[in-house]
C-alpha cells in the first residue's frame, strides 16, 4: 500500500477532509452544549455526578419484587423500578405470545366469524394509542370493579376487586403448600397480590402486543409455500403432524426475528407505566428528577437500562434464531 498523501483531487482525500471538518463541528457543538449545561446547572444550583445514588430516596414504592422502604438509597429505588419493569415485561411477553399466536391463526381460519373477530381485534388494538388503552384499563380496574370487601371470585381463592388481583401463593412450610387469600372485613389478605396499576399495564401491554404478534404469525404461516402442506398431506401425514413437522418449523424461521423486536417493543412500551403511576424504572427516574433535578444522570440511567435490556434480549433471541434457522452448508 502506498503511503497516503492528502490531496483534494482524490475521492479519499476529500472524504478525509470532510470527516475532519465533521468531527470539528461535532466537537465544537458538543463543547458548547457542555458549557451551557455546566453554566445552567451552576445557576440553578443543581449538583452533578452519580453520588446521589447513595443518598436516601425518601419516597415509597407501592410494590415490587424486593423489599423496599423510603429510607433506602436512590440506587435501591432504581433497582426496585428495574425489577418492576422486568416483572411486567416478562409476564406481558408470556401472555402476549400465545394470545397473538391464537389471534394470528384465527385470522387464517376458514370460519368467517372467527376470522372477522380476529381481524377486528387486531385492527382496534393497533389503531388506538396505547396510552388511551392504558388510561381506560386503569380506570376500569380502579372504578368499575367491586370494592375489596366484596370482590369478584374468579376461581376458588382468586379474587378481583378495586384492590387488585389476589392469587394463592405457593409457600414452603415444612412441605409444599398454598397460602390462600381470604376475604376479611377490610378486604382480601394473603397470597400473591397484584395491584390495579400492575394489572392495567399488564393487560394493556399484552393485548396491544398480541395484535402485532398476530400479524407476524399470520404472515409467517402464509410465507410457507402451499405446496409444502399439500405434499405433506399427500404423503399421508395426519393434519396434526403436518402443522407440527412441516408448517411450524418453516414458519418459525420467518416469525422469530420480527417477534424479537415485538418483545423489545413491549419492554419499551412498559415505560408508559409513568402515565398510570406504576413504579417502573421510568416512573422512579421521574420522581427522582422532580426531587433533586439531576435530569441528566437519571435520563442516562434509564437509557442505559433499556439499551442493556435490548442487547440482552437480542443476544438471547439470536441464540434461539440460530436453532430454528435453516441449516445451510
Q: Whole-number minimum distance, CB 60 to other proteins, in Å?
A: 21
Contact residues for other proteins, defined by CB under 8 A: 15, 18-19, 22-23, 26, 33, 36-37, 39-41, 43, 109-114, 117, 123-124, 126-133, 135-136, 139-140, 143-144, 268-269, 271-272, 274-275, 282, 285-286, 289, 295-296, 299, 302-303, 306-307, 310
- Rounded CA-CA distance 243/221 in Å is 10
Q: Whole-number minimum distance, CB 271 to other proteins, in Å?
A: 4
- CB closer to other proteins out of 194 and 302: 302
- CB closer to other proteins out of 104 and 191: 104
- Rounded CA-CA distance 168/172 in Å is 13
- Rounded CA-CA distance 258/213 in Å is 9
Q: Whole-number minimum distance, CB 175 to other proteins, in Å?
A: 41
Could you tell me where the DSSP H helices lie in 128-247?
A: 130-139, 196-223, 226-234, 239-241
> Residue for cell digits 458548547?
32
- CB closer to other proteins out of 70 and 146: 146
- Report the Cα–Cα distance between both ends of the chain, in Å, rounded: 36
Q: Whole-number minimum distance, CB 69 to other proteins, in Å?
A: 26
- CB closer to other proteins out of 62 and 129: 129
> Residue for cell digits 424461521?
253
Q: Whole-number minimum distance, CB 41 to other proteins, in Å?
A: 7
Strands 182-184 and 152-155: unpaired
- CB closer to other proteins out of 192 and 314: 314
Burial environment of residue 89 by CB neighbours within 10 A (0 to 12, 13 to 18, 19 or more): buried
Amino acid at each position: 500500500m502506498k503511503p497516503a498523501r492528502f490531496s483534494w483531487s482524490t475521492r479519499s482525500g476529500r472524504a478525509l477532509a470532510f470527516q475532519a471538518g465533521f468531527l470539528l463541528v461535532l466537537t465544537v457543538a458538543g463543547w458548547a452544549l457542555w458549557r451551557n449545561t455546566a453554566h445552567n446547572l451552576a445557576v440553578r444550583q443543581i449538583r452533578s455526578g452519580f453520588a446521589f445514588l447513595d443518598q436516601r430516596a425518601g419516597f415509597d414504592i407501592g410494590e415490587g419484587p424486593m423489599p423496599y422502604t423510603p429510607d433506602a438509597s436512590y440506587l435501591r429505588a432504581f433497582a426496585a423500578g428495574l425489577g418492576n419493569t422486568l416483572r411486567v415485561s416478562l409476564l406481558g411477553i408470556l401472555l402476549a405470545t400465545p394470545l397473538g399466536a391464537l389471534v394470528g391463526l384465527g385470522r387464517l381460519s376458514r370460519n368467517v366469524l372467527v376470522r372477522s373477530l380476529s381481524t377486528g381485534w387486531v385492527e382496534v388494538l393497533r389503531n388506538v394509542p396505547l396510552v388511551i388503552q392504558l388510561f381506560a384499563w386503569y380506570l376500569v380496574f380502579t372504578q368499575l370493579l367491586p370494592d375489596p370487601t366484596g370482590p369478584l371470585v374468579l376461581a376458588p381463592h382468586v379474587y378481583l376487586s378495586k384492590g387488585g388481583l389476589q392469587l394463592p401463593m405457593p409457600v414452603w412450610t415444612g412441605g409444599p403448600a398454598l397460602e390462600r387469600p381470604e376475604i376479611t372485613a377490610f378486604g382480601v389478605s394473603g397470597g400473591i397480590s397484584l395491584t390495579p396499576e400492575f394489572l392495567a399495564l399488564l393487560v394493556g401491554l399484552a393485548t396491544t402486543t398480541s395484535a402485532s404478534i398476530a400479524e407476524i404469525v399470520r404472515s409467517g404461516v402464509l410465507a410457507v409455500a402451499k405446496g409444502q402442506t399439500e405434499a405433506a398431506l399427500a404423503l399421508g401425514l395426519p393434519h396434526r403432524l403436518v402443522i407440527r413437522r412441516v408448517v411450524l418449523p418453516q414458519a418459525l424461521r420467518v416469525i422469530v426475528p420480527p417477534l424479537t423486536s415485538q418483545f423489545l417493543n413491549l419492554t419499551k412500551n412498559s415505560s408508559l407505566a409513568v402515565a398510570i403511576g406504576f413504579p417502573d424504572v421510568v416512573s422512579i427516574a421521574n420522581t427522582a428528577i422532580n426531587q433533586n433535578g439531576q435530569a441528566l444522570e437519571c435520563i442516562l440511567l434509564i437509557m442505559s437500562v433499556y439499551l442493556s435490556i435490548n442487547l440482552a434480549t437480542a443476544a438471547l433471541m439470536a441464540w434461539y434464531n440460530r436453532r430454528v434457522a435453516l441449516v445451510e452448508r
